[in-house]
């Protein structure tokens, strides 16, 4: 029995996982970094290598990638009843305190694309490092219609 290659996805996994799982009326995404065509667009630590504006752009791209994963898993964003929870991880220098400003850019993407359905409960968490040296990583949980 030969192993079949995984199907191509809009947000190709960087390891042994799937971009999103649908179960029990919810869809959960894997952590999404600011990748375009599978390539990380920015690397570094916010407050050292990455300024606030670039971190916000990275968070917006990562949030957009969560929506791509959700749309792929559900067939369309129309199947989203509402987003319920988002976590934004920010690799930042000690003393960085503008986590909410970075995460606001991710929240804005959800609101732009989903309107009221995109308003979420959210956490913005500072961490030392993220996969592949990404400055941000975003996870999303949404209720399915």
Within-domain flag for 85: yes
- How many other CB atoms sit within 10 Å of the CB of residue 68? 18
Between CA 121 and CA 54 the distance in angstroms is 24
Q: Please provide the size of the chain in residues.
A: 145
Q: What is the CATH number of the domain that holds 135?
A: 3.30.1330.40
| Tens-place pLDDT, residues 47-92 | 999 999 999 999 999 999 999 999 999 999 999 999 999 999 999 9
125 in Cβ contact with 99 (< 8 Å): yes
* pLDDT band (50, 70, 90) for residue 2: very low
Give me the number of domains the chain comprises: 1
For residue 121, the model assigns a pLDDT of 98
What b-and-e string marks burial along 3-29, b requiring 16 or more CB atoms within 10 Å of the CB? eeeeeeeebeebeeeebbeeeeeebbb
Within-domain flag for 15: no
The pair of structure tokens assigned to 51 is: 């300024």
Phi first, then psi, for residue 48 (nearest 5°) are -125, -75
Within-domain flag for 30: yes
User: How far is CA 22 from each of CA 19, 46, 61, 117, 140, rounded to the nearest angstrom?
Assistant: 10, 32, 22, 18, 12
Domain of 130?
Answer: 20-144
Within-domain flag for 2: no
Within-domain flag for 41: yes
State the sign of the Cα–Cα–Cα–Cα dihedral 111, 114, 116, 119: negative
Within-domain flag for 118: yes
4 pLDDT more than 60: no
Regarding pTM above 0.85, the answer is yes
Within-domain flag for 14: no
Within-domain flag for 35: yes
* pLDDT band (50, 70, 90) for residue 10: confident
């Amino acid at each position: 029995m030969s192993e079949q290659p995984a199907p191509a996805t809009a947000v190709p996994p960087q390891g042994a996982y799937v971009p999103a799982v649908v179960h029990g009326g919810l869809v959960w995404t894997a952590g999404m970094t600011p990748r375009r065509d599978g390539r990380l667009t920015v690397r570094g630590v916010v407050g050292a290598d990455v300024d606030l504006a670039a971190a916000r752009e990275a968070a917006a791209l990562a949030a957009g990638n969560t929506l791509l994963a959700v749309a792929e898993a559900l067939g369309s964003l129309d199947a989203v009843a509402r987003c319920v929870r988002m976590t934004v991880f920010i690799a930042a220098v000690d003393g960085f305190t503008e986590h909410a400003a970075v995460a606001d850019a991710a929240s804005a993407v959800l609101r732009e694309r989903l309107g009221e359905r995109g308003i979420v409960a959210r956490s913005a968490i500072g961490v030392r490092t993220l996969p592949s040296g990404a400055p941000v990583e975003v996870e999303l949980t949404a209720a399915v219609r």
